[in-house]
Structure 1
Amino acid sequence: MNFSQRTRGIVRAIAVAMALALPVVMTISAADARVGGGSGSGSRGSRTFSAPPSTSTAPGTVAPMNRTFSQPGSPNMGAPAATSGGLFGRGGTGRGLLGGLAAGFLGAGLLGMLFGGGMFSGLGGLSSILGLLLQIGLIVLVVRLAMSWWQRRGTPAAAYASGPTTGPGGPQPNYRSGFGFGLGSSNAPVEIAPADYEAFERLLGEIQTAWSNEDIAKLHTLATPEMVSYFSKDLEQNKARNDVNKVSNVKLLQGDLAEAWREGESEYATVAMRFSLVDKTLERTTGRLVAGSEQPVEVTEVWTFVRQRGGNWELSAIQQTN
């Protein structure tokens, strides 16, 4: 009798555990169904195995690549991280306008030292006076350049942030403003302009749409061959399960440029993006809902784009945030 009660207790505990685990399994399946398979896929050039800098959009860590054609230990792998700035909002590395001013003050101080004085040294001699004048001149120049940059920045940013209103809820939250700059392994600057920001947002929506339509030909125009190979494999797995993943109502909520750099003729930009979407997995033959819902969910991912100099941006990697 005692044995039977103990057995029933164990069976009941297992049943409760399975009941609790089932929604988790369904959630994981739904996440794995969307673009990128819910895992790190693709390549980031020489930085494939280096974590992108954190940003205000993705302040945590970024998951490593689970699927990539790149090989560890290849030449230039693990190169130093690029200088980063804000894309649609302020970047998380803290190197923006104030960082540029600080660099200007530092450079002025060093010039003062070269002319015989210390950092902001006194007026002890002719060299100190010349050093002080140079410092003041450089500081004024840096401030004027910064103010000019800020004025140029304000005009397109205001227009870019006021997009068309969609849906009954009015305008979506949007924190897009500013420019981002990066230095690549060739030490040549990469400027990320408002047109590039618009391209990233457009690619986010068009890739999700092409994925939902299982349009491989369209994906070839939006992503690198490596990423298209992963998309094709994931879509084939969906077909084998008699499933189809449908993504709709994709809206970018916030984004930051993590880093931008150049490698030869290729230019890279890694962007953290928080967006909402309706993500559903349906049974292919009946249309029955298998996972997901009609309610929008929010997702934060890190996408890397690449282009040949003068060409169009293409998606080259997707990484999940922790």
Structure 2
Amino acid sequence: MRRPARFLAMLAAVTLALAPALADARPGGGSSSGSRGSRTYSAPPTTRTAPGGGQQFDRSMQQPTRPSAPQAAPGAMRPQTGGFFSRNPFMGGLMAGMLGAGLFGLLAGGGFFSGLGSFAGMLGFLLQIAIIAGLVALAVSFVRRRQQPQPAGMPRAAMAREGAPGMMGGGLGGGRAQVVDEVGIGQADFDAFERLLIEVNGAWSRLDVAALQRMATPEMVGFFRDDFAALEKRGWRNETSAVKLEQGDLAEAWREGAREYATVAMRFSLVDVTRDIRTGAVTEGDPAQRTEATELWTFVRVQGGPWTLSAIQQAG
């Protein structure tokens, strides 16, 4: 009884050890790797292609940043704090004067209200106070209305953008989408994203690190090197071919200083095969069968230069 149990335990351990390398060995390793600038730890907006959004990053060199306190917009009124008398100094001074006069009369031996003469005089005095307080309140209300900031127009980044016509089977930019686009992504950009999807997979299959360095950030190239090493350690090599973009749309595009970012949801099909390095035998996948994947790829460019791959994020 003990030997079968020990054998099953060893088999389960081996299976768990091999599972990460056997599943999704394509570029990115089926995990979420890279950086999205300051939005690395913020989920990208949902799209028609990736309605579940994106998963959190498993590997990233971007350090989490503490969100700063929101700054008041220019011209915006600060919220008023404190009590009634702190917000209305005139009334505070008036009541302070009455209290001082009453205490003086009390100390002089004439009573707290001795300075008011009679009950009728006191009522008249209170009526005058009420009238003055009403006038002050009207004046303050008028001034506040004059100081209210006027609503600004809707920023261009939040406006609806009509996508460009699709290319391949739907392609990138097809249909209408409500997206945040601070860059102004056009058809030429969508073409570049689709081209990078195909070329990155080609360089991955050739183990062409030099080509990947031209198409991806140093961070992503480092992750590709790690994945190559992990596969080689097990005696395997992954190949992807016949990559075809089936559907894609822009999730968001934004600027950070001289850098421009674009996160794109892409559903694509490909032939994904893992082979034994020595024999060439297939260890996973089928060379005659296509598979599909949906991922969010983030691209970055500096001062209008070429787009490079900055992150591969699995769809939620």
TM-score by length of 2: 0.62
Q: Secondary structure at the match of 1:38?
A: coil
Q: Where does residue 276 of structure 2 map in the other structure?
A: 283
Distance 1:27 1:272 in 2: 26
CA offsets per residue over residues 79-138 of structure 1, 9 Å max, x none? xxxxxxxxxxxxxxxxxxxxxxxxxxxxxxxxxxx9xxxxxxxxxxxxxxxxxxxxxxxx
Structure 1 residue 195 corresponds to structure 2 residue 193: no
Alpha carbon RMSD of aligned pairs, Å? Answer: 3.5
Q: Cα distance 1:70–1:265, how it changes in 2: closer, same or farther (>3 A)?
A: same
Q: Where does residue 313 of structure 2 map in the other structure?
A: 319
Paired residues in the alignment total 226
Distance 2:172 2:69 in 1: 33
Question: Which of 177, 180, 183 does residue 182 from structure 1 map onto?
Answer: 180
Q: Where does residue 302 of structure 1 map in the other structure?
A: 296
Q: Cα distance 1:25–1:254, how it changes in 2: closer, same or farther (>3 A)?
A: farther
Q: Secondary structure at the match of 2:215?
A: coil
In structure 2, the gaps of 5 or more residues are 71-144, 146-159
Question: Which of 182, 201, 204 does residue 197 from structure 2 map onto?
Answer: 204
Q: Alpha-carbon deviation of 1:25?
A: 8.5
Q: Secondary structure at the match of 1:33?
A: coil
> 1:1-322 alignment to 2 at 5 Å?
29-73=21-65, 157=165, 160-161=166-167, 172=169, 174=171, 176-177=173-174, 182=180, 189-294=182-287, 295-322=289-316
- Contact 1:62–1:319 (8 Å) recurs in 2: yes
Q: Where does residue 167 of structure 1 map in the other structure?
A: none
Distance 1:42 1:58 in 2: 18
Q: Alpha-carbon deviation of 1:274?
A: 0.5
- Contact 1:182–1:191 (8 Å) recurs in 2: no
Q: Alpha-carbon deviation of 1:31?
A: 3.0
- Contact 1:179–1:194 (8 Å) recurs in 2: no
TM-score by length of 1: 0.61
- Contact 2:21–2:231 (8 Å) recurs in 1: no
The amino acid of 1:210's aligned partner reads: A
The amino acid of 1:38's aligned partner reads: G
Q: Cα distance 1:221–1:75, how it changes in 2: closer, same or farther (>3 A)?
A: farther
Q: Cα distance 1:316–1:296, how it changes in 2: closer, same or farther (>3 A)?
A: same
Q: Alpha-carbon deviation of 1:231?
A: 0.4
The amino acid of 1:51's aligned partner reads: A
Q: Alpha-carbon deviation of 1:256?
A: 1.5
Distance 2:226 2:247 in 1: 30
Q: Alpha-carbon deviation of 1:178?
A: 5.3
The amino acid of 2:292's aligned partner reads: E
- What percent identity do the matched residue pairs reach? 50
Q: Cα distance 1:207–1:74, how it changes in 2: closer, same or farther (>3 A)?
A: farther
The amino acid of 1:52's aligned partner reads: P
Q: Cα distance 1:59–1:33, how it changes in 2: closer, same or farther (>3 A)?
A: same
Q: Cα distance 1:307–1:173, how it changes in 2: closer, same or farther (>3 A)?
A: closer
The amino acid of 1:312's aligned partner reads: P
Structure 1 or 2, whichever has the larger Rg, is: 2
Distance 1:26 1:257 in 2: 35
Distance 1:178 1:76 in 2: 36
Q: Secondary structure at the match of 2:29?
A: helix
Q: Alpha-carbon deviation of 1:32?
A: 3.8
Distance 2:173 2:208 in 1: 30
Q: Cα distance 1:194–1:61, how it changes in 2: closer, same or farther (>3 A)?
A: closer
